Amino acid sequence: MAGSGKFFVGGNWKCNGTKESISKLVSDLNSAKLEPDVDVVVAPPFVYIDMVKNSLTDRIDISAQNSWIGKGGAFTGEISVEQLNDIGCKWVILGHSERRHVIGEDDQFIGKKAAYALSQGVKVIACIGELLQEREAGKTFDVCFQQMKAFADAVPSWDDVVVAYEPVWAIGTGKVATPLQAQEVHVAVRDWLKKNVSPEVASKTRIIYGGILFLTKTLSIC
């Protein structure tokens, strides 16, 4: 595996779950055998973060699914990074395709969110990915590199950033990416980091795949 020494596995629960179903899920996670060389993170809906934090093993970190771009205040419906810190939330997912394409967040807005979260000590899962029409038009790398540039222009350091590639066309559509499709983007993104940030950052940054893979053989995703 290229990148830092530990593998990374994250579970985004999105807008799903009830107290009953989440209690069952937490119980299953608490009894699971987890390998020591893997960082495991779960991202419950905001209203259940405190419940999960108070009942989940410390072996698994908690992530929020989003955060506000700056310090809290008169921003109805938003959650500040300071509030995430207050309840012991160590990670936040930023730039998820549903935030980009359903809510309408643009690349620069997401980059600034990431910079602010990092400035407050919250680690970032930075999401990138292309639409189906963009892949069919041969623009996969262009789109992913543009999204990466917005993060690179804003974040002061990549030490606490994990990059998550998830093609938008493989979310809830029944279509799945092949290992080759995922790996070719991972290789291209790592090369982009090497050329546009630094070889050290390219070597250390973990790049994961978000979503379902069509597995035809054993695959190690870095």
Q: Say which of 130, 134, 166, 186 is annotated catalytic.
A: 166
Among the listed residues 210, 209, 193, the one whose alpha carbon sits nearest the alpha carbon of residue 201: 193
Residue carrying the six token digits 């069509």 = 214
Apex 163 CA angle, 160 and 169, nearest 5: 155
166 catalytic per annotation:
yes
96 catalytic per annotation:
yes
Pairing label, strands 206-209, 123-128:
unpaired
Who contacts 68 (Cβ-Cβ below 8 Å, separation ≥6)? 75, 78, 79, 80, 81, 113, 116
Is residue 1 within 8 Å of residue 222, measured between CB atoms?
A: yes
Distance CA 97, CA 14 (A): 12
Among the listed residues 53, 67, 51, the one whose alpha carbon sits nearest the alpha carbon of residue 124: 67
Among the listed residues 65, 69, 165, the one whose alpha carbon sits nearest the alpha carbon of residue 117: 69
Q: Say which of 96, 105, 130, 186 is annotated catalytic.
A: 96
Structure tokens given for 42: 């779960």
Who contacts 74 (Cβ-Cβ below 8 Å, separation ≥6)? none
Is residue 26 within 8 Å of residue 49, measured between CB atoms?
A: no
Active site residues: 96, 166
